[in-house]
Amino acid sequence: MANLELKARILIVFMLLLVLGSALYLLYARGAFESTQELVLVADDSEGVVVGMDMTFSGFPIGRVRRIELAGDGKARIVVDVASKDAHWLRTSSVFTLVKGLVGGPNIRAYSGILNDPPLPGGAVRNVLQGDTSAEIPKVIAAARDLLENLNTLTGASGPARGTLANLQTLTQRLNGPGGALAVLLGGDAEARKTTVTLDRANALLARLDGVVAKADAQVFGAKGVMPETRATVAQLNAMLGEARGSLRKVDAILVDAQVVASNAKDATTDLAALRSEVEASLRKVEGLITEINRKWPFARDSELKLP
């Protein structure tokens, strides 16, 4: 075959190029040609973190885990290579999380709230916040189990819900029964029947009361009823009151006279009081005089008792 050696050489070169190209692509894909800056994330637990996994920012991979090592204090140090071209997304105030989902490995995520802060320096050491979805599952399941047990207790054969439903059913049956709602309210058909009878009697009574009221109306407001008589009496009373008012005016005049007499008597009483006080003063002087004479008299009685 013509040019067989040349074709074979071309084939060999093609194979070598293929292998070499694949190797270079692999090195590029592994980040061998990109400049990076180091970031150390300190975590309590690095379970699930593998070398080569991504660290994402807003869903975009900006770094990859290069090494995981155990620090002297027992914590895991996750060394991440952050591509230099993406390092500006990380600031001194950035927060890093290690979140484990239900499926797949954990995810390392970076959050930068304030992009005006100074950039994160190379070799920075940051604590990583950890969240574990699967760790929450047992708690949720325990709570759900409690809830289901409570529900079972409520709806069980001897549970309150079942009793309530049975009572409700009885109530409905009785509502549909002959006594209806009245029997339910009063507790039995006999009571309901009594109430019905009572109502009938009340109706009859009301009918009779109607008659009574009509008669009373005639008695009170009729032509010769109580009210016209009362009106005449009131008129007579008014006349009598006018007479009484005249009598009272006369009594008033008498009372004015009596008041004048009383004031005269009061003045006389005031003069008598002054006279009495003068008499009392004279008596007090006489008494003082007698006391003085008794003291100065030589045979004055010794009123002092002397003890032996």
Partner 1 sequence: MTPTGAWHSRVTQSGAAAGHWLLEWWRMAYLGAILTVLAFSPSSYGRAARATLSRHVYLNTAPILPGFSLLCALVTVVLTRIVVVTAQSYGLSQYALQVVIRVLVLELIPIGAALFVALRCTIPDGVELSVLQAGGRLDDLRRQGSDPTRAEVLPRVVAGMFAGVTLAALSCVVALCVAYVAVYGFTASGLEGYTRLFGQVFSPPVTLIFTLKTLFFSLAVSLIPMASALYGQPARPGAGVRTSAEMRSLVRMFAVLLLIEVASLVGNYY
- Taking the complex as a whole, how short is the minimal distance between the CB of residue 27 and partner 1, in angstroms? 9
- Regarding 24 and contact with partner 1 (CB under 8 A), the answer is no
Q: Give the residue with the Cβ less far from partner 1, 25 or 221.
A: 25
- Regarding 118 and contact with partner 1 (CB under 8 A), the answer is no
Question: What does the block give as tokens for 15?
Answer: 């194979």
Considering only residues 63-102, where is the footprint of partner 1 by CB under 8 A?
A: 64
Question: What does the block give as tokens for 302?
Answer: 């010794």
Secondary structure E strands in the chain: 36-43, 54-57, 60-70, 76-83, 95-100, 107-111, 124-132
- Regarding 104 and contact with partner 1 (CB under 8 A), the answer is yes
Question: Which listed residue (61, 122, 160, 288) binds partner 1 by CB under 8 A?
Answer: 61
Which residues, at least 6 apart from 93, have a Cβ–Cβ distance to it below 8 Å? 112, 113, 114, 117
Considering only residues 155-184, where is the footprint of partner 1 by CB under 8 A?
A: none
- Regarding 18 and contact with partner 1 (CB under 8 A), the answer is yes
- Regarding 33 and contact with partner 1 (CB under 8 A), the answer is no
Q: Give the residue with the Cβ less far from partner 1, 4 or 157.
A: 4
- Regarding 39 and contact with partner 1 (CB under 8 A), the answer is no
- On whether the CB atoms of residues 110 and 128 are closer than 8 A, the answer is no
- Regarding 132 and contact with partner 1 (CB under 8 A), the answer is no
Q: Of 119, 108, 33, give the one whose Cα is nearest residue 78.
A: 108
- Taking the complex as a whole, how short is the minimal distance between the CB of residue 30 and partner 1, in angstroms? 4
Q: How far from the centroid of its chain's Cα atoms is residue 124's Cα?
A: 49
